[in-house]
Structure 1
Amino acid sequence: MTHSRRQFIRTASMLAAGAGLLSSFPSTARSILGANDKIRIGAIGINGMGWSDLTALLRNPQAQVVALCDVDKNVLDKRVAELAQQNISVRAYSDYRKLLDDKDVDAVVIGTPDHWHCLIMTQACAAGKDVYVEKPIGNSIAECKAMVAAQQKYNRVVQVGQWQRSQQHFNDAIAFVHSGKLGSVRLVKAWAYMGWMHSIPVKPDSAPPPGVDYKAWLGPAPTRPFNPNRFHFNFRWYWDYAGGLMTDWGVHLLDYALLGMKAAQPKSVMAAGGKFAYPDDAAETPDTLTTVYEFDGFNLQWEHAIGIDGGPYGRDHGIAFIGNNGTLVLDRGGWEVIPEKGKMEAVPRRLKSDDGLNLHTTNFLEVVQSRKLENLHTPIQAGELVATVSQMGNIAYRTGQHLHWDATHQRFSENAANTYLAKTYHNGYQLPKV
């Protein structure tokens, strides 16, 4: 985006209005779509998963892309050109609010860095748009709650990009867990060992690249000099914008751990880890972490390690449901059951048979047409639960305390931890008040 300083101050002042801003957007999206109507899509944040999501959506004949938005003009121009090669013409915006004002947009894809998800999603719902939002839905527990409130207030279709919920082999594995054949499951493990990730070398601050509206990219995050390590993909490893592997991969894998156990929020959580592999590199979030959640009747353990592939059961990622009769091991490639000796039959590995992202985006479009929100594979409430659980793990790590969760009041018993429930918004922005 290209804003003058005056334009930026005016934008910040508008956003600071909080609830007033939410109510200022007209409900412009069509409320009823016929079977033959195109669903007109605008995508905000199109460098990584936002582009993958849009590409998957466009595989469906009922989807039509009409608008793109990105704060990096280089990315925006590249995507507009790629669509033009397919004879698709779109409007290009540098300011997402203008895209939300576009009456020709029925639904938006939000593929921005995590720290922007809440503001854009809540404003999109207020503007009458349906939303496909990348995971994790928010960058704090307070943001997650505001996003659920916005969906409920405006009654919009909101699908979270936890696409594994649309894959058949994941659902088959969870059905097996629910069958009781594993016996009592007392321990669940979820892990992400990312051998392909390596140290992020320290780089000096610099001027933003030409065409990048860095102030708009920062949004509610603290003002800092531009640094290439914090931009595009690597934003994940900085607390200002995201939560490291715990919220990046943890949201996917802990989601299925919770589903398998029919669990909600934990009673307590503790975590230990650090920058053990690359102590002097540029990242802030831990490259090694072990987190233990306490539930009634079982514990859930999360592990992650950057620079290592050799995770539990010989897999670099997965979920293991450890029962008295056997252990079910599930990952993106398939699932199997390893029996306890003499207690049950083994189940040989059953491989995946479909494409989760394609199915997930198709499910979103189907619900946009039907308005049957109960058919969503990952509604905002599901995204809120697992994002909250992941944030709890990071808070336990950052406080270094064994934390106890008060489900009634939705806060920790330890006051130091409650300072992490909400992010401080900067640059004139405020947490949405829905």
Structure 2
Amino acid sequence: MAAGMTVRVIGRAKRWLSALDREARYVLLARLLQSGNGFLLSIILVQVYGLAAAGTFAVAGVLIAPLAILATFGLPFSLARSHAPVEERNALGCTAGLLAVPLGLPAIAACAALLGRDGDEAMAIAWFACGGLFFAQVNVFNALLVLQRRAALSVLPHLYSSAGILLAALLADGLLDFAMIVGIQRIIGVFLCFLLPHSRIDLRAFFRHARESAHFMPFELIHLGADQLFTVALSYLLTREQLGIFGLWRQVFNAGMLAPSSMLQTAYPEIVRDPQGSLPTLRRKLNTVSLPTTIGIALLSWPLGLLVYNAPYFPVFTLLLMACLPLGCLVVLYDSGLRALGEIRLMNQLGLARGAILLSVVPFLHFGLPGLAAGVNLYTALCAWLTLRAFAQASGRQPVLHASSS
């Protein structure tokens, strides 16, 4: 019986991996390393500095997430449409890194001063937030590698990040020292695109390309802005410990999205070429990936909550929210389709609608973590429905909801 179960598990794992092509597997490996770094960071914060430290890091996420988009200057969305030589595209990535630091650091300092409850927490938030600049350049770096079929190199920035976290854990005397070491190491990592062969830096060419890329940014920023306002509301209505639990859940959710997002990142050039033809196939592959991933994440939450995070209610909170994962895959898939169709105006309208729905969930916070779980599930379901409607409007036909109907 045990042998038969083992064979079935191995068979499902093979089917799960077969849904990913070679480049997608490398991207998945890189994202697994990135997620592993996030878990490593969270474990150190909780075990050494307490659950409130995870709450401080969750507040820093209010800055990390928008920086991870803004500091790309829209390049991951537009590089697939560029016909420039490889060296010129790599130079665009280098230029983004050069501009990100002087433009980003003053904004980080000002916003951290507003978010921190005292001076030390504000400084820790600022140092942690520098990771947003680093992650932006990782996104640009990966987009360039995918276009060059060199995704195997995408693991390098995450190995570098692992070294920085471990170094900080060894050398830091307190939370602020830990945040400072991690922040400095990630600021240095902003310049990783210089590892690729590139032509000379041409600011005029970069800004010309950035203007074209800017068309793809409002949708991301509208949706993200509502998400960050929601997190700010959480920081005032929940304790730092409760906020830490929510931040840890988001980390688990992001881990569950690794395989689907890796698949879509490597398939995006194909989606740009043929949005309506490629999406049904990708939907079938996502069905193969999302269900076992959801089950695996639900099971993983128990040892994480009981043994690592010292939060017995974390697994229950995670189980209440696991419906978000397959719905999240659906949203990301059809977002890619809308972006490939060039439906910028429709996407901006969709972003505004999603933002309004998310902010309408805030009253649920009065019921604590159970209310938060109910509100987030409702929000995700409505987002999936709206996105399907938007794609149907853009493509002139109803999108595929189930693999069997495709």
Length-normalised TM-score, structure 1: 0.29
Larger Rg belongs to = 1
Length-normalised TM-score, structure 2: 0.30
